[in-house]
Amino acid sequence: MTDPIVSAMVFYALAAFTLVAAGFVALSGNIVHSAFALFATLFGVAGLYAYLSADLLAVVQMLVYVGGISVLVLFAVMLTSGLDGPLTSNPTFRLGGGIVLMLAVAAAAFVAATAVPSGVESAAVPTTAAIGDALLGAYVLPFEVVSVVLLAALVGAVTLARGYKGGHR
Amino acid sequence: MLTNLLAIGPELVLTLTVVLVLIADLVIGDRPARRGSLAVLSFAGLAAAAATFFLLPDGGPAAFGGLVSGDGLGVFFRGLFLVAAFFGVAFGALSDEIPVERFGEYAAMLLATTLGMSFLVQSQNLLMILLSLELVSLPSYVLAGFRRGDSRSSEAALKYVLYGAAASGLMLYGFSLLYGMAGTLDLSAIGPALNAKAAGGSVGIRAGIALAALLSLAGFGYKVAAVPFHQWCPDVYEGAPTPVTAFLSVGPKAAGVAALIRFVVIGFGASVATPPAGGLPWPVLLGVLAMATMTLGNLAAIPQDNVKRLLAYSSIAHAGYLLMGIAVGTPDAVQAVAVYLPIYLLMNLGAFLAVMAVRAKTGSETIADYRGLVARSPALSIALAIFLFSLTGLPPLAGFIGKFYLFAAVVKAGTPFFYVLAIVGVLNSVVSLFYYARLVKAMFLEASPDGAPAVLVPVPVGLLLAILAIPTLVLGLWWSPLADLAARAAGIVG
């Protein structure tokens, strides 16, 4: 069991980091800056996962979202033609609607958070081993079916995307 | 361990076949026998999958810790899907709408869809239901868009994807709510858990269960093309290549129906004979959906000029008839649905095969081009007329037997609501006669337009037509073997 004050400080630091970065994503006028800020936001979310002792989720978040998706987003931003230029972003920013929406979400979150009794903070227990056991034990069939789904999706995507005018292959 | 593997033997063989077809597609290259050899390989895979049915563990125990069920319902539909896949591959091999150099991909995608359907009907767990539904959907999208360069086919694929993604999202949300309230993904445990919650629960809990159930229903409703999730159906059926339309109209629809039976009847334990499951009046809810679906399908089919579009609306109407059976939910009704679907498979595949044969010669799918077809191709016209009258449900054809079992089950439910439902169903059958007969009248009673080409049916197509038409005739007179199989599927007899 950690000191509750230290624990709270870690949480607020992580949350503040994530929120500031997310605000940057939404508010920055430069789309490349937004993309880099998204990188930081996802990193902060990974930190929150780790804080909640979801260690596998944190690592997956780092590998897939921070490592993979962000780079993909950057590529998409930089390679997309038809943008007026890298400095165009969020041209339709509206303050009033945004604030109303934010307050509504905050109110909903408050209701949801207060409806559930706050639990006692428990010691962090690693989850990776248990998830691994579940994936290759009780849930091995869905795990393998996912691989077939991905194979079908991959072959299907290639089928649809391959050039077709120039004859066979 | 071995029991688990044997329990999904057909699916293992199908997976292997998908991979083998893809590899063979690469190895064979441009040889002239390409289409034939890939088709034979697919047929061999399907036959091997059928052979593994004899290795299924006795008594149908649940496998993989209850993720999949080995019950009769699953076995019956898995067999049916192998038949559907056989015709799907054969139609594709005979159609000029599937280019020869892409036939391997067509067969692989079709077999992957079949694999998904096969997993779907035995899924006893929300996670497995979701995954196998995706495995049905993803290759179906690709198949619908198979005619690249054809804007209608691309439009069909895009609409299919967008509707499918939305429906999957809604269903996933419903499943997550169900999991949150029941605390389990296991279908056999969800029903009792929700019943317990609803019995002592507040209005909020009941509303939550209703919301979760309705959202989950969206995913199944989309697969069977039930109102109000049917809008994609006419455009996809019209735009997709005809062999694909034929397969989509029977395969995924039957899988959706079977999964819905498992979800509602086995999961929630809903039927007219039991109290409302999870606080929801399932029979009335599904009954209203059935009425809306068949009425809209039949009325919208009347003004159609494109035969594929007409058959699309007709397939929506048939989804409505099937929903009646699920609404009743008794073993008798499940048996009726299991009798209806193989018959529906025969007559619908037959109708689409005839459309495919006409299209191959005339390049057209409009009713106007069917005028005087009897003079140009008597056998084809007679076969198509058999399929259409069977779809209407006229005796002595198989469609009549299917409808008879369904309506009997509905009437046996014995409440005023189900009497009304049965009357609506009968009235709908009368309406459907109008548009089916319109096509028959064009073929038999009207004169051919000038210069209309003769429609010579190639021998393999004629053979397939006969394979589909003869059971449509015979099952109308001698249906007890099918009824026995269906009874076993419904768990009436061991």
Tell me the pLDDT tens digit for each residue of B450-460.
Answer: 777 888 888 99
Highest mean pLDDT among A67-76, A117-126, B124-133, B361-370: B124-133
For residue B320, tell me if it sits in a domain.
yes
Domain count, chain B: 1
The H-or-E segment that residue A54 falls in is: none
- Chain B nearest-CA distance from A151, in A, is 9
For residue B392, tell me if it sits in a domain.
yes
Residues B25, B106: Cα–Cα separation, whole Å: 10
CB nearest A159 (choices: B18, B65, B142): B142
* Choice among A73-87, A147-161, B116-130, B135-149 with the minimum mean pLDDT: A73-87
Q: What's the domain range around B404?
A: 281-494
**pTM score of the predicted model:** 0.88
Tell me the Cα Rg of chain B. Answer: 22
The residue-averaged pLDDT of B203-232 equals: 87
Dihedral sign, Cα of residue B339, residue B345, residue B351, residue B357: negative
Nearest-by-CA chain B residue for A157? B142
CA A54 to chain centre: 14
Q: Do A160 and B148 touch (CB under 8 A)?
A: yes
**Does the pLDDT at position A38 exceed 60?**
yes
CATH fold of A4-125 reads Four Helix Bundle (Hemerythrin (Met), subunit A) (1.20.120)
Q: Which residues pair with B256 in a beta bridge?
A: none
Q: Is B68 on the interface with A (CB under 8 A)?
A: yes
- Tell me, what's the ipTM? 0.88
Q: Is B339 on the interface with A (CB under 8 A)?
A: no
Nearest-by-CA chain A residue for B111? A152
For residue B330, tell me if it sits in a domain.
yes
Per-residue pLDDT band at A168 (split at 50, 70, 90):
very low
Q: Compute CA distances B223 → B137, B142, B168, B209, B255, whole Å.
A: 9, 16, 10, 22, 8
For residue B149, tell me if it sits in a domain.
no
Q: Do B105 and A159 touch (CB under 8 A)?
A: yes
Per-residue pLDDT band at B50 (split at 50, 70, 90):
very high
Residues B129, B220: Cα–Cα separation, whole Å: 10
Looking at beta carbons, which residues of chain A come within 8 Å of B138? Answer: 149, 152-153, 156
Q: Which residues pair with B186 in a beta bridge?
A: B125
Per-residue pLDDT band at A120 (split at 50, 70, 90):
low
Interface list for chain A against chain B, based on CB atoms closer than 8 Å: 138-142, 145-146, 148-149, 151-153, 155-157, 159-160, 164-165, 167-169
- Chain B nearest-CA distance from A136, in A, is 11
| Phi, psi of B95, rounded to the nearest 5 degrees | -100, 140
Looking at beta carbons, which residues of chain A come within 8 Å of B244? Answer: none
Looking at beta carbons, which residues of chain B come within 8 Å of A164? Answer: 148-149
Tell me the pLDDT tens digit for each residue of B403-416.
Answer: 999 999 999 988 88
Q: Do A152 and B138 touch (CB under 8 A)?
A: yes
Question: Which residues are CB-neighbours of B312 under 8 A, at least 6 positions away?
Answer: B233, B234, B236, B237, B238, B245, B249
State the CB neighbour count (10 A cutoff) for residue B458: 11
b vs e for A50-66, b when ≥16 Cβ sit within 10 Å of the residue's Cβ? Answer: bbeebbebbeebbeebb
DSSP B367: G
For residue B313, tell me if it sits in a domain.
yes
Q: What share of chain A is helix, strand, coil (3-state, %, to 5)?
A: 70, 0, 30
Tell me the pLDDT tens digit for each residue of A42-52.
Answer: 999 999 998 88
Ordered by start, the domain boundaries in chain A are 4-125, 139-169
- Chain B nearest-CA distance from A130, in A, is 17
| Phi, psi of B125, rounded to the nearest 5 degrees | -150, 135
